[in-house]
Structure formats: structure tokens, C-alpha cells
Amino acid sequence: MGDQLRAYTKDDVTPVLSGKTIAVIGYGSQGRSHARNLRDSGMDVIIGARRGGASETKAEEDGFRVLTPAAAAEEASYIALTAPDMAHKEIYENDVKPNLKAGDTLMFAHGFSVLYGQVEPPKDVDVILVAPKGPGDLVRREFEKGRGVPCLFAIHQDASGEARDRALHYADGVGGTAAAVFETSFKHETETDLFGEQAVLCGGATELVVMGFETLVEAGYAPELAYYECLHELKLIVDLLHEGGLAKMHEFISETAIYGDLKSGPRVVDENSREKMRAVLKDIQTGAFARDWITENQAGKPAYRQMLAADLEHPIEETGRKLRSQMTWLNAEPGSNSANQE
């Protein structure tokens, strides 16, 4: 079992970024929430965005001063790169690197591009990571309520001697210290994040759902029943797990469901599944996954597009669209459930 992480709170924050200009480059879900929270925390924030793009328009509508990424990097002493991972190399080489000054801070919301060599910063700047553990809209909503989403931070390079203080002040600015802020490393943040997405949260969960749906339909059950039992009701269980772990789930489901869980769960997700998970983790740890994904992007993402199309054309999607159209509550708050963290 790994060592437990230390929890940092507001008492650990030194306001080292006061009076400094922070450039947020990448105004998607995370970038927008970071920028607005930082501004409301009293920090000086500018936005770096391509001219004529949707991000520039949205940032201007939100009341920010918007510059090109290069101009923003030149003006700021703290550069938060919140654009998608695969855009980091181009943005860094073309816009950020030529404008970095000794003593600047280069921050990432995910460690992929640094860990896998897509971005190689000079030795005279701080290189840190601050990653809220939630989608951008949740980070913003919780901040507005006076609460916060827990954050991870990491120090890849401490040129100034105050990289940790800079990371903590930024994490505090986005609301992290209202919950808790934990220190990790670029390596551990990136590898656990990729593993969670692939083996459990996205890859594992969706494959389990689809395979359960297929199993029931192949056995002659109506696709509507299969959808309700294998996909729709998953949210009920995930919410219980999210709120109170295994204990709360067991408290709020029937004894029949608990017995079926304990008896049959290990038959479906067994030691063979664990070995497959270990193989996924090994690909991440060795960089094999990263190399494959980088190469796929360089080729224009043909395999990615083909696999995604097959996923979206699955019969569970047609069934889901029909059934969800009858669930009026799903449209009550457009976008409120988005998990896009870019």
C-alpha cells in the first residue's frame, strides 16, 4: 500500500502570487473555471487564446482581457497551460517557450505532456501541476457556493525556491483549499489518472455496461429492459458510492442486491480482470500508451475515429436516445453533468 498523501489547507497558503499576472492558456472546461475562480479570489488573470476562435469570444464575454497565447505568455509570470494534452507541444514551442523568462512558472492541469517529453521546459523556470479532481463546471459551482473541489499538486522543477508556495496559492485561488489539497508527483498523477480512465471510469465501466446490455439482449430480453438495468440505474449506484463508499451503497440497496453483489461480482470481475488491469497499467508506466496516442494524433487519428464511430453506432445508443427523450429531468440543467476536463 502506498504512503498516504498529506492534506494541505488554507493555513498552509502563502500569497506569493499576489500582484503577479497569471495567464490561462486554454479556455475550455477547466481553463474557464480556473480563470473565473482565480479572478474572484482577487488574482490578476489574462487569457491566451487564438484570434477569432470560440475561446476568445467566450473569454471576452466573461469579461477577461484576451491576448494571443504568445502575448499572454510574454506578459505573465505565471502561465497555466490548460489546453488539451495533444495541443501542448505546439502551443509550448510556438507561443510559450520563446516568451519564458527566468523565474517564471509553467503550470499544467495534467502531467501527460511533461512526463512523456512533449514539453521540455528550461531549467530556470518552475514547473508545477495543479489538478482539481472534478470537471470544470463542478469546480466553478462549488466555488460559487463557498465550497471547493479537492486538488492535487506536484512539483516537477523548483527553480525559484517557492514552487510549492506558488502551486498552493494557485490551488487556493481555484477553491481547492476549501476541500483539501494533496501533494503528489507528475508521474503518479498522470499514471493513476490514465489508469483510472482506461481500466475503470471510462474504458472499464462502459465495456461492462455494453457487455451486460448485449448479454441480456442476446438472451431474448427487450433492449429497453437491458438499458434500464445495465446503464440507466448505474447512476443510482455511482451516486451512493460517491457519497459514502461501499458502506452507503450497501445501506441503500436491498439484501438481495447485496448478496448478488458479493456472490456474483467476483465472478465477472475476477483475477483475469486484475491481470488485464496490470497489463493496462504496465503500458502506461512504460510509456507505450503515450507513444501510441501521440503517434495516432500525428497520423490524424484514423484508428481513434474508427473506434469512436463503432462505439457511437452500438444499439445501446439508439435505445438510450429513445428512452432518454422521455426523461425530462435530464434536460433541466444543460451541461451540468459534463465531465470534460480540458
Q: Is 254 annotated as a binding residue?
A: yes
Helix (H) or strand (E) holding 183: strand 181-184
Q: Is 193 annotated as a binding residue?
A: yes
CA gap 48, 112 in Å, rounded: 21
Per the annotation, the verdict on 110 as an active-site residue is yes
**Three state DSSP letters for 302-321:** HHHHHHHHHHHCCHHHHHHH
Q: Give, in order, the Cα–Cα distances in Å from 234 to each of 209, 214, 282, 293, 298.
A: 9, 16, 29, 29, 36
Judging by DSSP bridges, how do beta strands 78-81 and 105-108 pair with one another? parallel
Q: Is 173 annotated as a binding residue?
A: no
Q: Is 244 annotated as a binding residue?
A: no
CA gap 116, 193 in Å, rounded: 14
Residues in the chain: 342
Annotated catalytic residue, options 88, 110, 156, 169: 110
CA gap 287, 310 in Å, rounded: 26
Q: Which amino acid is at 129?
A: L
Q: Is 313 annotated as a binding residue?
A: no
Q: Is 29 annotated as a binding residue?
A: yes
Q: Is 28 annotated as a binding residue?
A: yes
Q: Is 136 annotated as a binding residue?
A: yes
> End-to-end CA distance of the chain, in Å?
31
Give, in degrees to the nearest 5, the angle at Cα 12 between 161 and 174.
90
Q: Is 50 annotated as a binding residue?
A: yes
Q: Is 53 annotated as a binding residue?
A: no
Catalytic residues: 110
Annotated binding-site members for substrate? 254
Annotated binding-site members? 27-30, 50, 55, 136, 193, 197, 229, 233, 254
Annotated binding-site members for Mg(2+)? 193, 197, 229, 233
Annotated binding-site members for NADP(+)? 27-30, 50, 55, 136
